[in-house]
Amino acid sequence: MPRDTQGKFALKNDEHRCVRSLRLTDTTWRALGEEAESLSLTRADYLEQIFRHKPYSLPSNTRIKKEDLLSNTHGGADSQPSNTWQTEQIEQQLTQLTQQHEENTFLLAQIQKFTQVNALEEMRDQILTRLKLGKQAPGYKKAVLALNQFIQLLRDKFPVATDAPLIAENRIPPQSATQE
């Protein structure tokens, strides 16, 4: 398409065009400009050409091709009733949801186990601070060993579901500053 003296595309004729605004993202605007430029068209001419020559190739939720409409209503060979494909879609979505639920349940159990182990270790640390022993003292080291073995026994003996009430009920209150 020829350009005028300012470098802009020249109008095809002297008819005045009605101008409409269109909201596009920057990426879409650039892509539209590049495609139109490669065809030596303006963006507006390019859009008009698309809609004039390929109206059914564009996505639409209101436009239905006559052939598709006829094949679905007259029982085409490949067509299925709408309730059949909807049932299949629902079954697929149900399967996906079931798998996601199983994954979430597994992850939740892992998180609960991790937080419960952290709670036991916090209680161990609170008990050890009350011993008034240095960390290098033999009594302190034996207490750490015994408490770690106790925590390991609790982990092995009780499943995740029964650990939560045990930890919540037996939480040791934090040591006050006056007892030190």
- CB 36: neighbour CB atoms within 10 A? 20
For residue 131, give the nearest of 117, 141, 121 by alpha carbon. Answer: 141
| Distance between CA atoms of residues 167 and 9, nearest Å | 76
Give helix 43-53 / helix 26-38 axis angle, nearest 10°: 80
What is the pTM (predicted TM-score) of this model? 0.29
pLDDT value for 82: 58
What DSSP assignment string belongs to 112-142?
HHHHHHHHHHHHHHHHHHTT---TTSHHHHH
| Distance between CA atoms of residues 180 and 112, nearest Å | 33
CA atoms within a 13 Å half-sphere pointing along the CA-CB vector of 41: 12
The answer to whether the beta carbons of residues 123 and 130 sit under 8 Å apart is no
Residue 122 has pLDDT above 70, yes or no: yes
First CA to last CA distance, the chain: 89
| pLDDT above 90 as % of the chain | 5
164 confidence band (pLDDT: 50, 70, 90): very low
